[in-house]
Each structure stands twice: as structure tokens, then as C-alpha cells.
Structure 1
Amino acid sequence: MLLGLALPTFGTDAHTEGIVHVSRVAEELGYDSLWTGDRVLAPRSPSAPYPSGDGAMPRTYENHMDPLTSLAFAAAHTSRVRLGTSTLNGLWHAPIMLARSLTTLDVLSHGRLDVGLGLGWMPDEYTAVGVPWEGRGARLEETLDILEAYWASEEFAHRGRLFTVPETVVGLKPEQRSGPPVLLAAFTPAGLRRVGRRAAGWLPVAMPLPALLRGWQSVVEEASRAGRDPEKLRMALRVNPTLTASKADPEQVPGAGTLGQYVDYARAAAEAGVHELFIDLGQTPATLEERVDMAGRFLEGVRKG
């Protein structure tokens, strides 16, 4: 199982030195990938509860950096690790602009980009960027159509229900010949079917493994129905640990637990067939150096297993 680490693009460590330090140390330690998330707002009173914990949005989100710019900066300070978004709210961008940005990043990183797209959870952010909250699924489908055409063709045009792209030459091509892998965050039946039909993989968040495997089975079955090879799909599991000083009840994991319990969870995920797992220590009340130390101990613990 591949192991990844989230960049400090939220909170007090979201600055030049933080990104450079974590990027370099992650590569030196032997991590396989670096990941960023995406926020544009931190409203005092969100219109929808945060989809985990007590429903309160983490305070670290009040300071947020642009995910793609941050990955480009990390690319300049690394040479091996892959660079992923978990997740980029792709619907906040015009598809043709998104295609240009993603392709540029893939070129600048020498083909190290993994594109993780999600739909977000807060209508306020859609209001702020002038995109309707309703019809997100259809908007994502058409966005994927444009990304695929941009990466596959020397010339293309698009006329859809939501977007029109006049016929154009596309000289900029990604380093990864068929385009960066696109993974989707999804939890509804329709979303899981979309992963199976047209994505390179699934981006779930940590949950009890039986539930995780049920979701993956839905993806695999839909891929088979669509005539795709399920063996070519991958699952990249995000873990946002809530660390406790003493061992949590096993039923609380992965919602909370010690670092050792999260190591055990990661080992079990590897045995269950998870292809990649990445940990985000950004919401842990610790200094940057303490988080780097935890990242090293986590990697060592999982790899020993």
C-alpha cells in the first residue's frame, strides 16, 4: 500500500517554510505522495454542518491556501513524490480553465499529478464563486467530458447543456499521455456509480473497513457493468486523525484513537486491499515539528507491519 501525507495548506503552518519543510521531509522519509484540500470560505455560521465530528467546521480552515498553487510549489522542492488533490472542488472552475491549470501542473511536475475531484459540502462556497449548488452531478459529468477531450485531442470543441467550447487547437499536453488520473470523492449511490463508470479511482475518507469495502464493491460492480477493468481502478483513502492520549475504544477508530491505533488501522486497510492511504495531521493540536515527527513514526509503524 502506498502512503501519503497532507501538505500544511490550512491553519497556522500554511506558509512558505511549512510547505517546503513538509515536502522535503516527506520525500526523504519515503512517503509516496503529498496531498492538498480545497476551501474558499470560512463562514461564521455555515449553512450546512461539517460532515464529521460534531458538525463544526475546523478552525484551521479559516486560513486556506490555493491547492494547485501549493502543489506547484511543492513540485519545485521535490523530485519523486506524486502530488494529489483531496479534494479539489472542480466545479468552482470553468472546465476549460481547470483543464489548463491541471495540465500545466502535470507538465511542471514531470507527470506526478493525481487529480482528486469532489463536490464539497457547503452551499455558501458555491454562492461565493457564482456556481449553482443544484445540479452538481450533471455539472461534474460535463466537466469530466471537457477534461477528457482536452487531454485526448489536438483539436476539440464542446457543446453541452452547461458549457460551450468553440473549436480550438490544444498544444499543451500533459506529461501523462492520457491525462492525469482523475479520482472522485463520492458517498452516494449515484456518486459511487460515477466512479465506476468513468474515474481512475475512489477517494473515500476513513471509516470502518466493512463500510469502506461495501462502497468499493459498488464501484467495482459498476465498472464491470460499464465494460471497464476493475483491476485498473484504485482507492486512495484519506485519514483525518483525532488523536487521543490514551487508547480509544476500538469502536471509535478511525474516528479517534492514538497514533498506534491509526497505524493498526492503516495496516488493516492494507490487508483489506486499499491501494493508497494518506494522513492529514493538520487538525492535530501540535507544532509543525511535532507533526513531522508523528508523520515519521506513522510511516515507520505502517511499513514495519
Structure 2
Amino acid sequence: MTRVFPEGQLVYGMQLPIQSQSTIYAEAWEAAATPHDLAEIARTADRTGFAYIAGCDHVAIPRRLAEAMGTVWYDPVATLGFLAGITRRVRLMSHVAVLGLRHPLLTAKQYATLDHLSGGRLILGVGAGHVPEEFEAVGADFPGRGSVLNESIDALRSALGPDEYPEHHSELYDFEGLAQLPRPAQRQVPVWVGGSSPAAVRRAAERADGWLPQGDPRDRLPAQIARLRALREAAGVTDPIEIGAITEPLYVGEPGRPVGRRTLTGKPDAIADSLREYAAMGVDQIQVRFRSRSRTELTDQMAAFAADVAPHLNQ
């Protein structure tokens, strides 16, 4: 297992807007946004010190969920591949790839190529999925998706490793003697597990390089982190694990309009002081999201956060 970011430093990244437009979090301007807007946001993240940018994974949204989830979900490999070519430093994360929808060798081919082309910037975030119709449409096992995910992670450890002929033998997946080039630029691609259910926390503890909780409020995180660490110790895993958190929505400065009661607003040092509470809980990286009315306001907020808030995160 491998660590991505320096130990003892709170870093910040973001899930990209536009590429997923769930009604839970999408801003109104995203509906008319273009690939140019997405590219400018990625360039801003790259230029201003964001640790990663992330894209989501859904194959198809059923009508019964369309109102809540929206139907705009870009393919993460295509999206991150596009952005890899116009950025130089920022890490590229799938948040999260639903492994049960694809055979591990297919997943390995896609993400190994992405890592190779980006110069080793991939973080493979993975999850079990929650939409049964997606699984049914592609002939995948929805009821057994937890076991499938466990075996897929194990298979990908080999398939994304350094060997030209990866080998793996398990109940679901059995392969050897099959070459896959190019190999990832990283000797071992970091695998971060997403989810906050008891099964997801156990999976992260036993199999992952990082944990991506899905919206746990601040008051729940300490207990979740303690359970994660206890499960990891019980499993005999001694490698460090990078722990994440999704923060409240942010607005640097005074917005002058309603931005939601949970949004953190105000002076940069006050926002930084609040976000440092995550580090005190044992969090290594925070995923931030900004309230905005346009792409320009968003990139201005990103730049203000990087210039005025980020320098205070590790004081």
C-alpha cells in the first residue's frame, strides 16, 4: 500500500462541478456550462495548489431517480483523461469508480492508461454503487456487489501493479498469461475506498490506502475514524491510511446573498480555523465545494481559498 500526500499535512481537493449534476449539490449555472468551463476549473485547481480533482461514475440513471440525481454524469475516465492533457500537477481521482459494473481487467486497462498518460497522477477511488438498474442493464450482480467489490480491489492490486502479465486467482476472477501495456506510471496505484456504511468502513480498513467518507457530518466523523483504525489494527494492516472528509459548502468572504445555513462563510482565517478541526480529528485531506453563481465566481472562490485560507490550514 502507498501514501499519496505528506503525513501530518491537511491537503484539499475537490469534486469537479459540471461533470455530475445531482440536484443535491449542483449550482444552477452548471446546466449550461461547457467543456471550456470544465477545463478552466481544472486549470485553476492545477495552478492554485489543489491536491486533486475528482469525477464520478454512473452508467445510466433510471427514470425513478432522475429528479433527485439528475441525468448528467460524465464518464470519469474520459473526463479525467481530457483534463490530464491540460494540467500538469494536480492529482486525478475517480470518486468513485463503481467496480462491480466492469471486469477488473477492463478497469485496469482504462485506469492504467490514464495513469500512464498523466505521468502517475491517478488516485483510484472505488465504491460499491447504489443503483440496481445500472447493474441489471450491464448484467452485473447488484445484490452481491459488496463481495464483488472486495474481490475487484484484490484483483486490481495485481492488474495495476508493475507486471506486464498480471496474475490473480479468486472465486470470481481468474487471470494470468494476459499482457496489459502500458503499465501505470506509478509502481502501485493508490486505491481509496468510498462509503460510510459499516461494510464500507470495514472494506476501507482492511483493503484500502485511503478512505473517502460520503458526507458524514462533523460530529460523526471521530467515531467513524476510531472504528476504521480499530478494524485496521484488528486486521493486522500496519500501513498508514489517508482519511478524507467532505466539508460543508464554503464561501470565502461575505456572499451578500443567501448561501444556505450550513455554508461556512467569512474571513479566511475564520474559515481556516474551522477547517483545522478536521485535522484534529485525524483527517488528512478535505474535499471542498464552493457556492457560486457562475464559473467565474467559482474560480475566483477557488483562487481566494488557495491564497488566503490554505496557508492557515497547517498552522
Using structure 1 for the length normalisation, give the TM-score.
0.83
**C-alpha displacement of 1:280:** 3.7
Within the candidate set 209, 231, 235, 1:200 is matched to 209
Question: Is residue 23 from structure 1 mapped to residue 42 from structure 2 by the alignment?
Answer: yes
Taking a change above 3 Å as real, the CA distance of residues 3 and 293 of structure 1, as seen in their structure-2 partners, is: same
Q: Is the 8 A contact 2:165 2:176 kept in 1?
A: no
Structure-2 residue corresponding to 1:167: 177
Structure-1 residue corresponding to 2:303: 296
Within the candidate set 80, 83, 88, 1:71 is matched to 80
SS of equivalent to 2:65: coil
Structure 2 residues without counterparts, runs of 5 or longer:
1-9, 22-30
Distance 2:75 2:164 in 1: 29
Alignment of 1:142-157 (within 5 A): 142-152=151-161, 153-157=163-167
SS of equivalent to 2:244: strand
Distance 2:274 2:20 in 1: 25
Q: Is the 8 A contact 1:158 1:167 kept in 2?
A: no
Taking a change above 3 Å as real, the CA distance of residues 210 and 149 of structure 1, as seen in their structure-2 partners, is: same
Distance 2:228 2:96 in 1: 18
Alignment of 1:102-121 (within 5 A): 102-121=111-130
Distance 2:139 2:170 in 1: 19
What do the CA deviations read for 1:118-151 (whole angstroms, capped 9, x no partner)?
A: 1122222222332121111110111112211223
Number of residue pairs matched?
A: 285
Structure-1 residue corresponding to 2:94: 85
Structure-1 residue corresponding to 2:56: 37
Taking a change above 3 Å as real, the CA distance of residues 248 and 71 of structure 1, as seen in their structure-2 partners, is: closer
Distance 2:235 2:110 in 1: 29
Worse-matched range after superposition: 2-11 or 192-201: 2-11
Structure-2 residue corresponding to 1:237: 245
Q: Is the 8 A contact 1:118 1:184 kept in 2?
A: yes
Structure-2 residue corresponding to 1:57: 68
Q: Is the 8 A contact 2:195 2:214 kept in 1?
A: no
Distance 1:248 1:71 in 2: 30
**C-alpha displacement of 1:302:** 4.2
Amino acid at match of 1:57: A
Amino acid at match of 2:297: E
**C-alpha displacement of 1:246:** 5.3
Distance 2:185 2:12 in 1: 23
**C-alpha displacement of 1:275:** 0.7
Question: Is residue 135 from structure 1 mapped to residue 144 from structure 2 by the alignment?
Answer: yes
Distance 2:73 2:248 in 1: 17
SS of equivalent to 1:3: strand
Taking a change above 3 Å as real, the CA distance of residues 43 and 239 of structure 1, as seen in their structure-2 partners, is: farther
Amino acid at match of 2:47: E
Q: Is the 8 A contact 1:38 1:66 kept in 2?
A: yes
**C-alpha displacement of 1:242:** 8.5
CA RMSD for the aligned pairs? 2.7
Structure 1 residues without counterparts, runs of 5 or longer:
48-55, 250-255
Taking a change above 3 Å as real, the CA distance of residues 83 and 142 of structure 1, as seen in their structure-2 partners, is: same
Structure-2 residue corresponding to 1:252: none
Amino acid at match of 2:11: L
Taking a change above 3 Å as real, the CA distance of residues 14 and 71 of structure 1, as seen in their structure-2 partners, is: farther
SS of equivalent to 1:292: helix
Distance 1:63 1:240 in 2: 23
Distance 1:105 1:247 in 2: 36
Distance 2:33 2:246 in 1: 19
Worse-matched range after superposition: 77-86 or 4-13: 4-13
Distance 2:60 2:131 in 1: 9
Q: Is the 8 A contact 2:14 2:52 kept in 1?
A: yes
Structure-1 residue corresponding to 2:191: 182
Distance 2:32 2:259 in 1: 28
SS of equivalent to 1:46: helix
Distance 1:175 1:88 in 2: 20
